[in-house]
Amino acid sequence: MAKRVAILQFPGTNCELDTQYAFKKLGCETEIVWHKNNKLPENIDLVVVPGGFSYGDYLRSGAIARFAPIMQDVANFAQNGGNVLGICNGFQILVEAHLLPGAMMRNENLHFISKQQYLKVENIDNKFLANLNIGEIIKAPIAHAEGKFFIDENGLSELKENNQIILRYCDATGELSNPNGSIESIAGICNRERNVFGLMPHPERAIETILGSTDGIRMLEGFLK
């Protein structure tokens, strides 16, 4: 039976169709859900909060979207063990909604960054990266202005103790290479329960050779098991 994926859409979201295409390519049933809806579709296996500029990124990225009607049901879904994936702006929204720890800040160089980026897999004890190997180098695009992940010292210690750091930015050899100033080059994390995930890179833009990488397929496929 095909997995069912709900993809949120806010004013300013611009990656919902890319995300839908990626999951349809993997054989999933998908439904785009408008931000003013109060309820997610029935019997879904995954909620994706995709990239873009929700509400124009006014105030802080994700700061307004966290109050959208649909987000309460997303929180309920996550608290009941449902899988939630936030990509780029989606990661920012999940942090603002306190479904993931930390905060997102302006890139260290204050510029928008758009490029292919190497990533180092740090933890595979989760559905999202279960198809990969610890230490493996993969590649996916990044495109953000507020991608600098920050967390205080105690929070960082907790992330490490609980193996919640799932991806770090690196170069082609695996040496850490930080494009935006994120603390300890963190590119992606999960919650303690390992059912809510956030990352700044775009796996949905790394699913065909013509796009420069197919590593996104192996990442998203983890949710299909």
**Active site residues per annotation:** 88, 202, 204
C-alpha gyration radius of the chain: 16
3 state DSSP class of 57: helix
The residues facing 168 across adjacent strands are 120, 186
Which residues contact residue 194 at a Cβ distance below 8 angstroms, ignoring those fewer than 6 apart? 125, 126, 127
Q: How far apart are CA 201 and CA 216, in angstroms?
A: 10
Tokens of 33: 């859900």
- For residue 82, which amino acid is it? G
- Residue with tokens 């959208």, as numbered in its chain: 68
| Strand arrangement, sheet containing 113-121 | 29-34, 4-9, 46-49, 83-87, 196-199, 186-190, 165-170, 113-121, 137-144
